[in-house]
Amino acid sequence: MSSELEREIGHDEFDPVGTLGLITIYFLILVVLWIFMYFVEFAGGDLTVVGVVV
């Protein structure tokens, strides 16, 4: 098998930039959706139950 290897790279030389790009986009989508859900859909939905947190 090893004779068929085209190129051997070390642990830190493996750079899946496509995967990095995907998880970055995924992360940004999560952040935007959270902000939208909490601040626009929830906190913007007056009347909101208010009170003092005991």
Partner 1 sequence: MNIHTYEKFWLGASMVLIVGFILTITYGSVGLGIAMVDDSEPTINPENVGDHPDFGDPGVEQVGENEYVVHVVAVQFAYFPGEIEVPADSTVTFKLTSEDVIHSFSVVGTNANTMIIPGEIASVTVEADEPGEYGIVCSEYCGSGHHDMEGKLTVVPQDEFELEGDE
Q: Would you tell me which residues interact with partner 1 (CB under 8 A)?
A: 11-12, 14-16, 19-20, 23, 27, 30-31, 34, 38, 42-43, 45-54
CA–CA separation, 6 vs 46, rounded Å?
Answer: 63
CA–CA separation, 6 vs 31, rounded Å?
Answer: 40
**Neighbour-count burial of 41, counting CB atoms closer than 10 A to its CB (0-12 exposed, 13-18 middle, 19+ buried):** exposed
For residues 1 and 16, which CB has a smaller minimum distance to partner 1 in the complex? 16
For residues 5 and 49, which CB has a smaller minimum distance to partner 1 in the complex? 49
For residues 4 and 46, which CB has a smaller minimum distance to partner 1 in the complex? 46
